[in-house]
Amino acid sequence: MNLKEIARETGVSQSTVSMVLHDRAGIGHETKMRVRAALEANGYVVKADSPVTSSKYPRALFIKYKRTSIMVDGNPEYTAKLMDEVSRCCNENGYELVFQVATADTLPEVFQRANREQFVGVILLGTEFTDEDRPLLKQIRKPIVIIDNDLVKLPITSVCTHTWNSMRRKVDYLVSRGHTRIGYLRNLRETSICQQCFRGYQAAMAEHGLQVRDEDVFFVEPSLEGAYESMKKLLARGISLPSALVSNTDCLSLGAMRALQEYGVKIPENVSIIGADNISSCTLYSPQLTTCDVFPKDIGKWAVMLLKDQVENPDVPVIRLRVETRIVERESVCDISEHVPFERTGVETVVG
């Protein structure tokens, strides 16, 4: 059997087989022993200058960056899926993963640690990164991959949701259901990724010849409870509601939906709502939230693969990998023919 066939038989890449053959660092002990046995069974002489039983694995650093912590900790399911998959893939590829939380104040110190200690590279969760955080990245001197933010102005490898296309897909979907007055639930504490989402919404509306009305853009806090409280205050002021709303997280959509329903707004008859990241809570509300699959496990897997590629091939080009989303149809969107404009009737409910 050749190396390619051995790779297929042992369930690893051909480069991994080559690394085991030449006893290079970066392969987990169990994987190394499995591949080594297959190589020796097929007549290969495995180089063994260092003990193959060594348990000292190369380390990768995962940085969970928190500027406000609201988006990272306020959407724990999405973050947990990302981190779990990164951890699993690191183990699979022979890396020991070290976790570190950082803020704008502590990130320079964390980068210094990464540069100083024997980390092969860094994976940075950049959900809450803003434009003013960008200069901090110039301090890192190790291979790095950014997750959940593509930082288009910097030559850094990244993997994230294609936020622009995701917003376009949601607007297209609502237009296909007949909606033309489409509002936006906007993060009150915006990061660069939030700004990209909003620009995608504006571009999608323009493509359909639809107006983005200032009164249809609702600023809410970026968490489920925060969006709920923010929407309650907006409703108390007497806002006019569009026929449909989009957002860039399910937490914003679900929080706003709860406030709307308490105010007497029927979903989707009075207002259709579409979310963004298909968290499990989408199916716990009534109606169940129409949203998008954003494939956090795939994002985590690709982050590790891109980091590994940089570690093994320092001359690889910068890669920006964008993962397309997919609409998940549930119950929170109706056709415009079924839409009934909301009118407040009866005894007023105190909201606030």
Q: Which residues does residue 166 pair with via DSSP β-bridges, in sequence order? A: none
Cβ proximity of 184 and 242 under 8 Å: no
Q: Is the pLDDT of residue 349 over 80?
A: no
What is the pTM assigned to this prediction? Answer: 0.77
Cβ proximity of 277 and 74 under 8 Å: no
Q: How far apart are the first and last CA of the chain?
A: 72
Neighbours of 96 (CB within 10 A): 15
The percent of residues in the chain predicted with pLDDT above 70, rounded, is 92
Predicted confidence band of residue 18 (pLDDT cuts 50, 70, 90): confident
Mean pLDDT of 125-151: 89
How far apart are the C-alpha atoms of 295 and 325, rounded to whole Å?
Answer: 7
Mean pLDDT of 109-138: 91
Q: Which tokens go with 339?
A: 């839409």
What pLDDT is stored for residue 233 in this prediction? 97
What pLDDT is stored for residue 48 in this prediction? 54
How far apart are the C-alpha atoms of 32 and 295, rounded to whole Å?
Answer: 30
Mean pLDDT of 291-319: 95
What pLDDT is stored for residue 2 in this prediction? 83
Report the C-alpha dihedral over residues 171, 176, 178, 182, rounded to 10 degrees: 0
Q: Which tokens go with 138?
A: 């110039």
Domains along the sequence of the chain with CATH: 1-56 (1.10.260.40), 59-162+295-325 (3.40.50.2300), 163-293+329-338 (3.40.50.2300)
Predicted confidence band of residue 51 (pLDDT cuts 50, 70, 90): very low
The residues, any chain, with a CB within 8 Å of residue 148's CB and separated by 6 or more, are: 82, 125, 126, 127, 160, 161, 193, 299
Amino acid identity of 44? Answer: Y
Cβ proximity of 53 and 116 under 8 Å: no
Neighbours of 75 (CB within 10 A): 21
Q: What is the pLDDT of residues 225-273, one digit of tens each?
A: 999 999 999 999 999 999 999 999 999 999 999 999 999 999 999 999 9
Q: Is the pLDDT of residue 22 over 70?
A: yes
Amino acid identity of 45? Answer: V
Q: Which tokens go with 245?
A: 């709303």
How far apart are the C-alpha atoms of 33 and 64, rounded to whole Å?
Answer: 33
Q: Is the pLDDT of residue 157 over 60?
A: yes
What does residue 293 show for φ and ψ, rounded to 5 degrees? -80, 130
The residues, any chain, with a CB within 8 Å of residue 109's CB and separated by 6 or more, are: none
Predicted confidence band of residue 190 (pLDDT cuts 50, 70, 90): confident
Task: Tell me the HSE value of 284 on the side-chain side, using a 13 A CA sphere.
Answer: 9
What pLDDT is stored for residue 25 in this prediction? 60
What pLDDT is stored for residue 71 in this prediction? 77
Cβ proximity of 180 and 150 under 8 Å: no
Cβ proximity of 100 and 220 under 8 Å: no
